[in-house]
Structure 1
Amino acid sequence: MAIAQLIPSLEPRLRELFNQHTERARNIDWAYSDYIPLDEFQRDPQAIPRLSPTILSAIELAVFTEVNLPWFTTALHAIFKGSWSVLLDFVHTWTSEEDAHSLLLETYLFVGRNGDPRARAALRKQVIRAGLMSADLLYDPLQALVYTAIQERATQIYYLNVAQAAEREDPHLARLLRRLAKDETLHYTFYRDAVKLHLEADPNCVYPVADVLLKFEMPGRGSPGYQERADRVRMANIYGPEQFYAQVIDVVLKYWRITELHPTYAEAREAQQKIVKQHARLAKIAAQLAARRERQAQQQGAQPE
């Protein structure tokens, strides 16, 4: 018997979460023209500035993560098929909302003549053809909910952090990114709350949380140029291990109240301890990186001009 699985009595609660998502998404619906004001750009071609290498890398990294959508949808559909209809309903809705993200970002880069559109198109095709995703993404339904909750939170924070970094450089881009983050917030909320309902109903559901957390990778990792772009974004202190710990993992695990759970299965209790240790390990890495960055800043400040 599985240690943790979907709890049938919670299906109506997830339907409520889906209905709430649908209503919230309807209230913040948007169109391309809201974020790519072509009339303004035609009047003033300089309205879209040339992006710095760091911000361009950040946007292209987002594009080559988002273009994995066909494979992500295929995986989730296969996982949820045969379980609850509400999960498939949400995946279909989620796909329709996510589909616009990479297209909007790519269009913005193209209109602004940022980067090499021919090379970007070739890499886009290569990434989609390869189906580059986490090799361990094909979990059971409960594990998929955990994975996607973490992934959606990470994407939400990534967009918000890049928006903050891009504000002075390109306010239009910053506004666009914050809009995409709103979609990610709604998606994260559904998956996050679906997992929390299971943890509250059966603390043994902590077992798949550990399995996902210890193996977690973002979709698209391993694609050509991924690490180079990710390193550039990390070195600018926009998004990296520090942010992943403080703004993603720490927030999600506290919301799920992992340390307060009382699993009855020994395997689940062991999984809970693995989560606690992984949380501490990520915190240590983040602290070390922050201290190193502070030392480097002090050394640079002490150098004579």
Structure 2
Amino acid sequence: MENHHVRLLSMSGHDLLTELLPVVEREVDRHMATAVDWHPHDYVPWDDGRNFAALGGVDWDPSQSTLSDTAKAAMITNLLTEDNLPSYHRVIAENFSLDDAWGFWVGRWTAEEARHSIVMRDYLVVTRGVDPVELERTRLVHMTGGFNPFPTELAERVDGTGGGGLGMLLAVAYVSFQELATRVSHRNTGKACGDPIADAMLARVAADENLHMLFYRNVTSAALDLVPDEAMAAIYTIVANFTMPGSSMPGFRRNAVLIAKGAIYDLPQHLNDVLRPVLRQWKVFSRTDFGPSGEYFRELLAQFLDDLEAKVTRFEESRARALERQLRRSA
């Protein structure tokens, strides 16, 4: 968006929330009819647990873990991501509403998400999969720093004011992609753990994330019908500046490399399993209701995806060469 100032016709945030309320009410009803109640304690092998030194047992040692380095990196990253729920709740609450169906959803979504960190931490501590002391230290740092996926300057770069309903649109667009990305990561992490209990646990967590994604994706779809230009601006802004919610945690870069190498979450998956399916569902590239500003941001999005496709090609070629070298060394 360099040197290109676009001023969008703005609906106030309050008016946008009011207009979308019937959609949110329907989505809440759909979610409550399809969501499955489950209990974290049912997914933890409690018989594997024993006391640590403070209660007369033995403290953690690396030899106690049965997880690979890749599985450890993914479990730590996913758990600490879930731990930062207070930051996500704050962003959602500030940009949605705490009234009516909006408020119910904010509370219900937060309550469902809270189960994820509960069950994952219980599993890791009971099975001694990772160092619990280091895990707690990192949690404190990560939660203290918080996370905001769309700083104010992003909104200002889009319409020059940061006002109107754009904050809500940025929020709902971000979680539409992020919930799906988290689902992919959890599902693949479960498989990487090599433990059917962990696999079942993370499949359950991933199912929650999928239902949450459907809620946000459908609300964003309705917003596209209501304010197509503003929604398109928000979608482009989020896609072009997307960061995973764990990106601010200590050690994220190292863990992200292991996660990508292990095909748990990598650039091809981000493009082909997250971005493209959601954009296709919204019919972003076949809509005919955009004005000049919406067309502008759609063109920017198309160019960004083309550039990302080129990066994916280079990533896959590099990974293939690395695999070939590894096979030659092991031959």
Please indicate, yes or no, whether the TM-score normalized by the shorter chain is above 0.5.
yes
**Structure 1: which 5+ runs fail to align?**
none
Provide the rounded CA distance (Å) in 2 between the counterparts of 1:7 and 1:116: 44
Q: Deviation at 1:90? A: 0.9
TM (norm. structure 2) is 0.82
Provide the rounded CA distance (Å) in 1 between the counterparts of 2:257 and 2:290: 42
Provide the rounded CA distance (Å) in 2 between the counterparts of 1:3 and 1:249: 26
Provide the rounded CA distance (Å) in 1 between the counterparts of 2:290 and 2:204: 42
Contact 2:147–2:248 (8 Å) recurs in 1: yes
**Which letter does structure 2 place at the counterpart of 1:75?**
V
Counterpart for residue 16 of structure 1: 26
- The percentage of counterpart residues that share the same residue type is 26
1:190 matches 2:215: yes
Q: Deviation at 1:190? A: 0.1
**Which letter does structure 1 place at the counterpart of 2:30?**
Q
Provide the rounded CA distance (Å) in 2 between the counterparts of 1:2 and 1:184: 32
Contact 1:133–1:220 (8 Å) recurs in 2: no
Provide the rounded CA distance (Å) in 2 between the counterparts of 1:3 and 1:210: 17
Contact 2:169–2:220 (8 Å) recurs in 1: yes
Q: Deviation at 1:202? A: 4.3
Contact 2:173–2:216 (8 Å) recurs in 1: yes
- Among 64, 83, 105, the alignment partner of 2:120 is 105
Instruction: Within 5 Å, give how 1:276-291 maps onto structure 2.
Output: 276-291=302-317
Counterpart for residue 150 of structure 1: 177
What's the RMSD between the two structures over aligned residues?
A: 2.3
Q: Deviations over 1:139-161 (max 9, x none)?
A: 61122110111111110111112
Contact 1:145–1:191 (8 Å) recurs in 2: yes
TM (norm. structure 1) is 0.89
Q: Deviations over 1:184-230 (max 9, x none)?
A: 01100000011112223443231211121111112231221111111
- Among 211, 228, 247, the alignment partner of 1:221 is 247
Alignment: residue pair count: 295
SS in 2 for 1:209: helix
**Structure 2: which 5+ runs fail to align?**
1-6, 51-63, 156-165
Contact 2:74–2:189 (8 Å) recurs in 1: yes
Q: Which runs of 4+ in 1 moved over 6 A?
A: none
**Distance verdict in 2 for CA 1:59–1:42, change over 3 Å:** closer
Counterpart for residue 258 of structure 2: 232
- Among 258, 280, 285, the alignment partner of 2:284 is 258
Counterpart for residue 200 of structure 2: 175
Provide the rounded CA distance (Å) in 2 between the counterparts of 1:213 and 1:303: 39
- Among 200, 220, 225, the alignment partner of 1:200 is 225
Counterpart for residue 160 of structure 1: 187
Contact 1:149–1:188 (8 Å) recurs in 2: yes
SS in 2 for 1:260: coil
